[in-house]
Amino acid sequence: MRRSLGSIAGIGELPAQRETQGATTLGMIAEVARRAVADAGLEPAAIDGLLVGPQVGETPQHVPATVAEYLGLMPRMANVVDLGGASGAGMVWRAAAAISAGMCEAVLCVLANTREAMQVRSPNRNPIREFDVPFGASGANATYAMIKQAHMAAYGSRDVDFARIAVAARANAQRNPDAIFCGQPATIADVLASPMIASPLRLFEIVMRVAGGGAVVVVSPERARSLPHAPVHLLGAGEKVTHRALSQAPSLTSGPLKSAMAHALATAGIGAAELDLLSLYDCYTVMVAATIEDLGLCPPGRFGDWIADRDLGPEGDTPLNTHGGQLGFGQPDLAGGMTHLTEAVRQLRGTTPGRQIPNAGLALVTGNGATMSEATALVLGADA
């Protein structure tokens, strides 16, 4: 039997919302935390570890203490995990490690965000603000467009190859009522006809920003077996951070997930072919393409051939982002990465409403932050 590094006993998720009226981040965190802890079958007082994100709207500093106080918790371990879209996955490995180290016994990992009509601009004074923004390169669309452009130039990949990723995400979202694009499927023609935002990236290849939240509760494998749900075990994990600004990236076509995923699979003692669910971070279509290639499912540059005759739905040959991915669900800021995690837990419990993968035993969850900069990969397994 494979060794469990820690277990996910509870999950919580908020539906994607286009806007929130007057809601606070702390309030959203409280709502999703309540769902996750109830799902775990625990009393709030049992939570003695807390991992939160860095962007809690009401406070720039002392974030863990602010969140803990709001929730009435007095944790023995509290930290911020600041890995962009990899934060959720990064929390799970840290939670398991903290439990193994004796720091605490039950860790709440929580991310949530509000979304107002008028978003406040970042007050950064980092190198990107000084050396990228003045040239007209604000935001992630510009940099991911350059990653897609680099892929197309290096390998001759075509827009239709990338469009298939968006189409599959929208198709899976039709079976997730919490997804922002539930009720709005898209065809390849729709993707190719959507407005050009930053060439070669079109609108339907880009996540829609939404409000939402996600949370998980991590405990020891022994503790998990006494709780209501079948435990989902962390069998392997890997992480890598290579840069922040795209101009400093070691590669434009391969990212830090390559080594993170290799480490996660090696720790779990499995190969990529054994995975029943690929829950891959998909802020943009090109991120899925790069991850498929970095995982070794096809040679570099050949994801288009790989995806062309594949069924990525829950009953298909290669289930991928069965919740719709963020391209179909929407991106609730840092909690967007959490959606890949909560979906994997549902699938491995065998309780996914309306879209269960038959006999799902192993899942890969990836998190990706900034511009292919911060990467965390988790291998999760159903209770044996």
The 222-251 contact track toward other proteins, x by CB under 8 A, reads: -----------------------xxxx---
Contacts of 274 (CB under 8 A, 6+ apart): 362
Q: Does 125 bind other proteins (CB under 8 A)?
A: yes
Token output for 310 = 């594949």
Q: CA 240 to CA 272: how far, in whole Å?
A: 19
149: which DSSP letter? H
Nearer to other proteins, 357 or 370 (CB): 370
CA distance 195 to 290: 23
Closest distance to other proteins from the beta carbon of 65 (Å) = 30
Residues in the chain: 384
Which residues are within 8 A (CB) of 222 and not within 5 positions of it... i.e. 6 or more apart? none
**Which one of residues 22, 119, 135, 183 is an interface residue with other proteins (CB under 8 A)?**
135
Integer-rounded Cα Rg, in Å, for the chain is 19
Please select the residue that binds other proteins; options are 50, 146, 166, 375, rule is CB under 8 A. 146
Considering beta carbons, is residue 137 or 171 the nearer one to other proteins?
Answer: 137
149 binds other proteins (CB under 8 A): yes
- The minimum distance between CB 148 and other proteins, in angstroms, equals 8
By CB under 8 A, tell whether 142 contacts other proteins: yes
Nearer to other proteins, 109 or 145 (CB): 145
Binding window for other proteins (CB under 8 A); candidates: 34-42, 79-87, 126-134, 178-186: 126-134
Report 191-220 residues binding other proteins (CB under 8 A). Answer: 195-201
290 belongs to the binding site for other proteins (CB under 8 A): no
In 3D space, the residue among 300, 235, 303 whose CA is nearest the CA of residue 269 turns out to be: 235
Cα angle 306, 330, 303; round to 5:
10
DSSP-assigned states of every residue in 308-341: HT---STTSSS-B-TT-HHHHH-B-TTHHHHHHH
Q: Which is nearer to other proteins, 2 or 243 (CB)?
A: 243
Binding site for other proteins (CB under 8 A): 125, 127, 129-142, 145-147, 149-150, 153-154, 195-201, 245-248, 252
